[in-house]
Structure 1
Amino acid sequence: MQVEKRVSELVEEKIADRPDLFLVDVKMLPNNKLIIHVDGDQGISIQDCVAISRHVGFHLEEENAIETAYNLEVSSPGVGEPLRLLRQYAKNIGRELGLKLASGDKKEGKLVEVNENAITIEEQIKEKGKKVQLVSSQIALNDITETKVLISFK
C-alpha cells in the first residue's frame, strides 16, 4: 500500500538523526487506523512518539495522502507483539522467549546470543528422575515463524 510506504519514509526521515531509534512496522488497518511501531535500543519515550506523530501527521495532511478521516497511533510494539527485527532480538538478550518454529515445534528459553543468522537460547530441560539441565540451542532465524518475549509475574 502506498500510504504505508510513504509513512515509512516519513518516519525514517524523522529519526534519521537518532541512531538509537528504529522503525518496526507501519500498518493501515481497514478501519482507517494508521499504526506506527517505533522502538529504540534503550526503548522509546513518549516525547519521541509525539514528535514522530506530529511529523507524519503534518506531512500526510500537507500531501493529502489519505482521502478519508483516520486515526494515527505511534507507539513502541506492545509486550504481546512478536519480534520482527534483529535489533529487537538484540535488545532482549537475557529475557525469556517463546519461539514457534517452521517445523511446528515450540521452544522456550533465555536469549543469550544473537547474530545475523541465528539466535542462541538456554532451555531448561527436565528429564524424568534427573535434575533440570540448561541446554544451549542455536536456532537459525529462518527456522523461526514467531518469537515473543515471555513475561514472568513470579
Structure 2
Amino acid sequence: MNEPRRVIQDLAEKHLPDESHFLVEVKMEDKAGKTRVLILVDADQGVTIEACARLSRAISEELESQDILGEAYILEVSSPGLDYPLSSSRQYQKNVGRELKVFQNSGTETIGKLLSVEPNEIKLLVKKKEKGKKAIEEEMIVPFGEIKKSIVQVSFK
C-alpha cells in the first residue's frame, strides 16, 4: 500500500464515530489533475449521512493541516452501497439472514440465504430445484478462500 493511502486509512480509522463503524476500503486515483480519495465506511446498524459528513470533515482537516496530498484533491466518504461486493467477515456478519449471490473462483454462482459466518467460511441455505419435483432447501458451506465476490440481493417483497 502506498504511503498517502496508508496515512488516510489510519486517519479514517482514528476518526470513525464509534466501535460499530468500520472501514471497508480506501481508494485513490488521479482524476483531471486532482487526487480523488474515496473512503468507504460501513457500520453494524448502517451508516448515516451525518456520520459520513463528520468523518469527511475530520479527515479533510487533518489532510490539510498535515499537507498529506499537496494542493488539489477530491474527498468522498460514503457507504459501500448494496451493489458493492462484501469484503470482510464483519460485512458478512452484518448481512446474516439476507440473500447473497456468491461468485466462486471456480466460476460457480450460487444464490442463498446467509445463515452464519465462521472465521474461514460462510453457510448458505440454498434452494435446489429438480425437474418435476418441489424445490428442496439444503445448507451449503463456502470457504472464504473459494469466494471471488459476494453481493447482497435486493428484495422488494
TM-score range, shorter chain: over 0.9
Which residue in 2 is equivalent to 1:59? Answer: 62
The code of the aligned residue for 2:25 comes to D
Which residue in 2 is equivalent to 1:104? Answer: 107
The code of the aligned residue for 1:24 comes to V
Does the alignment pair 1:144 with 2:147? yes
Which residue in 1 is equivalent to 2:4? Answer: 3
Q: TM-score normalized by structure 1?
A: 0.95
Query: Offset of 1:13 from its aligned partner?
Result: 1.0
Determine the C-alpha separation between the residues in 1 that align with 2:117 and 2:134: 28
Runs of 4+ in 1 over 6 A off after TM superposition: none
The code of the aligned residue for 1:9 comes to D
The code of the aligned residue for 2:87 comes to R
Determine the C-alpha separation between the residues in 2 that align with 1:142 and 1:36: 25
What is the Cα-based RMSD across aligned positions, in Å? 1.2
The code of the aligned residue for 2:4 comes to V
Query: Offset of 1:102 from its aligned partner?
Result: 1.1
Which residue in 1 is equivalent to 2:137? Answer: 134
Query: Offset of 1:39 from its aligned partner?
Result: 0.6
Which residue in 1 is equivalent to 2:90? Answer: 87
Determine the C-alpha separation between the residues in 2 that align with 1:83 and 1:72: 22
Does the alignment pair 1:116 with 2:116? no
SS in 1 for 2:61: helix
Query: Offset of 1:103 from its aligned partner?
Result: 1.1
Query: Offset of 1:153 from its aligned partner?
Result: 3.2
Q: Across the two proteins, how many residue pairs are aligned to each other? A: 153
Long gaps (5+) in structure 1: none
Determine the C-alpha separation between the residues in 2 that align with 1:30 and 1:97: 33
